[in-house]
Amino acid sequence: MEINGKTRVCGLIGNPVEHTLSPMIHNTLAEILGHNMVYVPFLVEPGRVAEAVTGAKALNLLGLNVTVPFKSDVIASLDEIDDLAGNIGAVNTLVRTESGYKGYNTDMEGLYRAMTGEGIRLDGEQIILLGAGGAARAVAYLCAVKGAERVYMLNRTPGKAQTVAAEVNRTVGREVILPMATEEYGKLPEGKFLAIQGTSVGLAPHVDDVIISDDSFYEKIHTGFDLIYSPWETRFMKLTRAHGGRAYNGLKMLLYQGIIAYELWNRVNVSEMDARIVYEKLKGCFIDAD
């Protein structure tokens, strides 16, 4: 890659950012597609996200990704926000406009592409969602708008789950999210469920952690999807597979949320063939390490 006076810059703002795989996604795509673009991470101190957006505007950055802890805080600094991001209450992608930046949320469409690519459907499904934080709230909204029959939101703090469920149900106009305390999993109805692990429990280096370890819980799961991708196989995934279910990690979600952002910045469509090249490169970061 030759960097010159016409090179456009994109990047990631967050704290921390040292662990990010996003530069691999975007710089690989730029190389494959022949775009004169470079992507770099920017560490932003707490309370300074507004300054970061102003600086990006002054420097004419083409676009930015936004990660924790700024996905909600950044909204106040934007000139415009996409409807989906507004309903979720979180932005992870900024696209340059004439006056500033427009905010999008590509996380949920990235998750949806990842799931449908594995043959996972949401329409008409009975879903268990573990967690009620920012990621889980976005997943609950996605499940609701994609036609899930019922989403049982299990959280250690029932009040938080109740608040999120009420917000999402009100937004989508139907009672689809049912909040429950995590320890109430025994009250789940009979049947098989799609289970989505939407918390940071089990994230490396705490690879032996899991929200629920009871075998009877995993006997209810036909498919488990963990938003975590490090480690490659979480304990949640291992327990799901041990009881006959399919299990997937969040690496393809990471891939597709990045691809959608790249498409927005560069006004292109990335082919599945090119997506596969990037995925294999990302996967190598984990498989080679094993």
Tell me the per-residue pLDDT of 192-210, one tens digit each, with 9 for 90 and over: 999 999 999 999 899 999 9
In the prediction, which pLDDT does 288 show?
A: 56
Q: What confidence category does residue 287 fall into, taking pLDDT thresholds of 50, 70 and 90?
A: confident
Active site residue 238: no
How much is the pLDDT for 1?
72
**Topology alike, domains 8-105+252-287 and 109-249:** yes
pLDDT category of residue 134 using cuts at 50, 70 and 90:
confident
Helix, strand, or coil (residue 96): strand
Task: For the chain, give the percent of residues with pLDDT over 90.
Answer: 96
SS3 38: strand
> What pLDDT is stored for residue 290 in this prediction?
46
Please say whether the beta carbons of 141 and 147 come within 8 A.
Answer: no
215-247 as b/e, with b when 16 or more CB fall inside 10 Å? eebbebbbbbbbbbbbbbbbbbbbbbeebebbb
Q: Over the stretch 6-25, which tens digit does the pLDDT of each residue have?
A: 999 999 999 999 999 999 99
**Catalytic residue (choose from 6, 57, 71, 102):** 71
Domain residue ranges of the chain, discontinuous segments joined by +: 8-105+252-287, 109-249
CATH number for the domain whose boundaries are 109-249: 3.40.50.720
Q: Does domain 8-105+252-287 have CATH number 3.40.50.10860?
A: yes
pTM: 0.94
